A and B are shown apart, each in its own frame.
Chain A
Amino acid sequence: MSALLSVEGLTKAYPGVLANSDISFEVAPGEVHALLGENGAGKSTLVKTIYGLVTPDEGRMFIDGTLFEPRGPQAARAAGVSMVFQHFSLFEALNVAENIALGMANPPGRQELSQKIRDIANAYGLSVDPDRLVGDLSVGERQRVEIVRCLLQKPRILIMDEPTSVLTPQEVNTLFTTLRKLSAEGVAILYISHKLEEIRALCDRATILRSGRVVGACRPAEKTARQLAEMMIGLELTRPLPRLFTPGDPLLKIRDLTVPASSPFGTTLKSIDLTLHKGEVLGIAGVAGNGQDELMDVLSGETRVKGDAIRLEQREIGALGPNRRRMLGLLAAPEERLGHAAAGDMSLADNAYLTGRKRQRLDYRGFIKKATTENFARAIVSRFDVRTPGVGTLARALSGGNLQKFVIGREIMQRPGVLVVNQPTWGVDAHAAATIRTALRDLAAEGTGVLIISQDLDELMEIADMFAVLESGRLTVPQRTGSLTIEEIGLMMGGSTKGAVQDAHA
């Protein structure tokens, strides 16, 4: 088997980080090759190098045995390399055809392009309408646009960066069918993921990365998921033990809450009903862009609603702002660490003051109590094992996992009655994720109601007692986590894909 792509000794350093160190591997034509590794293992830098977005410090790449030194993505595409990004490289205010034309070296005229798009879409079972605005498409549809854009280039190597993190299980199956078809046609696929079962199901070979280095290679089908995980992480994982859940008194109630979208491409929340009990962990699943951010803003108090739409232990709090809600015990940690949950250009101490101000009494008549604030920040840092030189360090200097531990810890340390978190372990390394999940479970065990919004089904299956799905701004009735199969949940999440729903009822 001769290599289509071979990578030799790639090295790339960023200030303070060695993103890639002496990385070598080969991909054969028609092979589905997994790049497996945790967040921060260097997968993204590696594929960006192959796609010409990053210039390596050292090392060489070959395609078909000839030296491959792309000066930019256009050169990479000309050499037959295409890439589907994790965060899509799409333009919301432009239509599908325009978006696709932007990814091509010499796009044909409008009519011809639309026809080509339809042809490719039909051939690979990827339905897309060339005339629709991308901003109006669902996340799954957007990914199809990205894939069609790549396929129009007739790539020889297709890079997929975490393609399934935003898809429902059914959409994942469709994607795999498409990828297998491509591989049968001889296209090599470089598949980045940290989802082990997927890799076992799809990939022929895997290269495993840890801290920027290649730490192993294997045939995934021959390994168990646990073996793969240990290769990826380097040691054993501790998981929280399952626990018995008996719901306490109701704490937080939302009744028939409807909130119109605040931006052109936002989601309208439609008659949301939910009850959160003492000691309950309620998981809300759903593909991104189905109203998660909007629901979070409504719960944190950033979006005000009618007073009686949200009650906290009988008190009407819908019209209250974030600080009044904090005083009453409703705390929150939004998804976006930098810029929303924390201010990147401020120190950890200042960020501790951000939400701890009222409940921890960090100021007196508006004047900030410096020592008290710093002590509070230090307490968070030590209890949640946040790796930082000190509390004077800027938030953006911390790694994602450490900052997330700080953000979640900041709320937990304030002993919330209800804690709402959005994507608590998104982009966080396995250790930090485990710490955070355990802390959330412990908090619930002490009687706090915990509401977790997450796209990670495995995470919710692991820690949630009750489970509901948010889809197109609607929330399903919460059910006991054990009572549903992944298959059923997938169908709930993909409410918009009509075929799948019909199958479910058949």
Chain B
Amino acid sequence: MLTLEPRRRSSTLLQALTPVLAVLATMVAGGILFAALGKNPVEAIRIIFVDPFFDPFSRSELLVKAAPLALIAIGLSFGFRAGIWNIGAEGQFIIGALCAGATALAFWGTEGTWLLPLMALAGMIGGFLWGMIPALLKIRFGANEILVSLMLVYVAELLLSALVSGPLRDPDGFNFPESRRFHDSATLPIILQNTRAHIGILVALALGPLAYAILHKHVFGYHVKLLGTAPRAAAFAGVNTKLMIAACLGLSGALAGLAGTFEAAGPVGQLVPSLPVGYGFTAIIVAFLGRLDPLGILAASLVMALTYIGGETAQFTLQIPAAAISVFQGMLLFFLLGFEVLTRFRIRRVTRATS
């Protein structure tokens, strides 16, 4: 019989190794899935995980996909470490995009370098406030933040749909439910010629080390970790739990809102009902794949972006359905959580020596 035995100290090597193991296991399981769908599993895995690196356009697209994932996941990681579960990043992403988009449309045609920062600010405030709804309801009434933040995703989706087919609709758009296209001053500058790689990628890249420092060197990060591993010890240390709930949900909301801003002002360039594509949910997987560590998340966001880009290629070259990629991502999270047992426990064979 096999039993689990708690480790006396956690193994750093295994901690770094779990995500790699999980990705490998997902490739194997994914291969089996693709084989079951009647596709060549080796080819499918190659198309998803290797080919994007050899195509310049795909390489830049990787960054375009990874940036919002990294931004949202870094925000979520603080709350997840503290045991505050913001599941509604998707909603905060939408509201961020809406606020930034509304700002852009309000100044439609006005030139100026101040507009983008203003939009980013609006997006962050929007996401922050949307995140503060579950925070305040949890602080004041003890309402479960998981359910509240998730319900607000549906509300945000409906709000976006209502607004782009109502007040924010393009007046010259033949009644299509979409806004005007943003003008140049409201569109993110491109950092690589002839690609969609925008300045938001640099923001995400800079955020990684900054968040790392706050998590591991600053008292805020310390309190986040303390609250997550020992809530009573946190109260004893003088951590204000209510403030932490607000800070974690507000922070992740603001970053999701910023990601929404970048998405609207970057690759999409307008407000449309199809703007949210599930980054807010995928970022949960990214956060865990990065082991809730900002630098790990930067790497994890690239891996997850691979499955998107490679998945798209696989869709039109091998006719692998888009849903298979979601299954793939879900499996990755399962394997991650399963393998994590290795970092906390060692597996030992026990034999009964009697008789």
Q: Note whether A and B contact each other (Cβ less than 8 A).
A: yes
Contact of A367 with B217 in the complex, beta carbons under 8 Å: yes
- A343 in contact with B238 given A353-B222, A394-B8, A394-B10 (CB within 8 Å): no
Q: Which of A390-408 contact B (CB under 8 A)?
A: 393-394, 396-397
Please, how many angstroms separate the alpha-carbon atoms of A366 and B238 in the complex? 14
Contact of B236 with A346 in the complex, beta carbons under 8 Å: no
**Given pairs A340-B236, A345-B230, A394-B8, 6 additional interface contacts (CB within 8 A):** A322-B238, A323-B237, A324-B238, A343-B229, A343-B233, A354-B233
A-B pairs with the 3 shortest C-beta distances? A323-B238, A343-B230, A322-B238
A205 to chain B, nearest CB (A): 26
Please, how many angstroms separate the alpha-carbon atoms of A340 and B236 in the complex? 7
Contact of A339 with B10 in the complex, beta carbons under 8 Å: no
Contact of A339 with B232 in the complex, beta carbons under 8 Å: yes
Contact of A58 with B236 in the complex, beta carbons under 8 Å: no
Partner of A59, one of B219, B220, B226, B354: B354
Does B181 touch A at the CB level, under 8 Å? no
Residues of B within 8 A of A477 (CB): none
**A58, A357, A366, A396 — which one has the most chain B CB atoms within 10 A of its CB?**
A366
Does B9 touch A at the CB level, under 8 Å? yes
Does A69 touch B at the CB level, under 8 Å? yes
Does B43 touch A at the CB level, under 8 Å? no
Q: Which of A40-60 contact B (CB under 8 A)?
A: 55-60
Spell out A's residues near B (CB within 8 Å): 15-16, 55-60, 69, 300-302, 321-324, 326, 332, 334, 336, 338-346, 350, 353-355, 357, 363, 366-368, 393-394, 396-397
**A341, A342, A343, A397 — which one has the most chain B CB atoms within 10 A of its CB?**
A343
Does B225 touch A at the CB level, under 8 Å? yes
Residues of B within 8 A of A59 (CB): 354
Residues of A within 8 A of B230 (CB): 338-340, 342-346
- Which residue of chain B has the shortest Cβ distance to A326 in the bound complex? B238
- Which residue of chain B has the shortest Cβ distance to A10 in the bound complex? B354
Interface of B: prevailing SS: mixed
Contact of B217 with A368 in the complex, beta carbons under 8 Å: yes
Please, how many angstroms separate the alpha-carbon atoms of A386 and B238 in the complex? 25
Please, how many angstroms separate the alpha-carbon atoms of A15 and B7 in the complex? 9
Please, how many angstroms separate the alpha-carbon atoms of A69 and B354 in the complex? 9
Does B46 touch A at the CB level, under 8 Å? no
Does B323 touch A at the CB level, under 8 Å? no
Please, how many angstroms separate the alpha-carbon atoms of A184 and B171 in the complex? 97
Does B140 touch A at the CB level, under 8 Å? no
Contact of B8 with A15 in the complex, beta carbons under 8 Å: yes
Contact with A along B210-233 (1 / 0, CB 8 A): 000000011110100110011011
Contact of A357 with B236 in the complex, beta carbons under 8 Å: no
Contact of B219 with A340 in the complex, beta carbons under 8 Å: no
Contact of A334 with B236 in the complex, beta carbons under 8 Å: yes
Does B349 touch A at the CB level, under 8 Å? no
A-B contact list, 6 entries, CB within 8 Å: A59-B354, A326-B238, A340-B232, A340-B233, A340-B236, A396-B8
B12 to chain A, nearest CB (A): 11
Contact of B229 with A56 in the complex, beta carbons under 8 Å: no
Residues of B within 8 A of A322 (CB): 235-238
**B5, B229, B230 — which one has the most chain A CB atoms within 10 A of its CB?**
B230
- A58 in contact with B8 given A336-B232, A346-B226, A368-B217 (CB within 8 Å): no
Contact of A368 with B226 in the complex, beta carbons under 8 Å: no
Please, how many angstroms separate the alpha-carbon atoms of A341 and B226 in the complex? 12
Contact of A345 with B229 in the complex, beta carbons under 8 Å: yes
Contact of A55 with B233 in the complex, beta carbons under 8 Å: no
Does B240 touch A at the CB level, under 8 Å? yes
Please, how many angstroms separate the alpha-carbon atoms of A427 and B62 in the complex? 56
B69 to chain A, nearest CB (A): 28
- Which residue of chain A has the shortest Cβ distance to B228 in the bound complex? A345
Please, how many angstroms separate the alpha-carbon atoms of A296 and B232 in the complex? 13
Residues of B within 8 A of A344 (CB): 229-230
Contact of B354 with A60 in the complex, beta carbons under 8 Å: yes
Contact of A15 with B219 in the complex, beta carbons under 8 Å: no
A66 to chain B, nearest CB (A): 14
Does B353 touch A at the CB level, under 8 Å? yes
- Which residue of chain A has the shortest Cβ distance to B9 in the bound complex? A394
Contact of A55 with B352 in the complex, beta carbons under 8 Å: yes
A374 to chain B, nearest CB (A): 14
- A354 in contact with B354 given A343-B230, A397-B8 (CB within 8 Å): no
- Which residue of chain A has the shortest Cβ distance to B8 in the bound complex? A397
Residues of B within 8 A of A343 (CB): 226, 229-230, 233
- A339 in contact with B218 given A59-B354, A323-B238, A394-B8 (CB within 8 Å): no
Contact of B238 with A368 in the complex, beta carbons under 8 Å: no
Residues of A within 8 A of B219 (CB): 357, 363, 366-368
Contact of A302 with B235 in the complex, beta carbons under 8 Å: yes
Residues of A within 8 A of B9 (CB): 393-394, 397
Please, how many angstroms separate the alpha-carbon atoms of A353 and B10 in the complex? 20
Please, how many angstroms separate the alpha-carbon atoms of A357 and B219 in the complex? 9
Please, how many angstroms separate the alpha-carbon atoms of A299 and B1 in the complex? 49
Residues of A within 8 A of B229 (CB): 343-346
Q: Which of B176-230 contact A (CB under 8 A)?
A: 217-220, 222, 225-226, 229-230
Please, how many angstroms separate the alpha-carbon atoms of A85 and B270 in the complex? 67
- Which residue of chain A has the shortest Cβ distance to B231 in the bound complex? A339
**B218, B222, B233 — which one has the most chain A CB atoms within 10 A of its CB?**
B233
- Which residue of chain B has the shortest Cβ distance to A320 in the bound complex? B238
Please, how many angstroms separate the alpha-carbon atoms of A38 and B353 in the complex? 28
- Which residue of chain B has the shortest Cβ distance to A325 in the bound complex? B238
Residues of B within 8 A of A326 (CB): 238
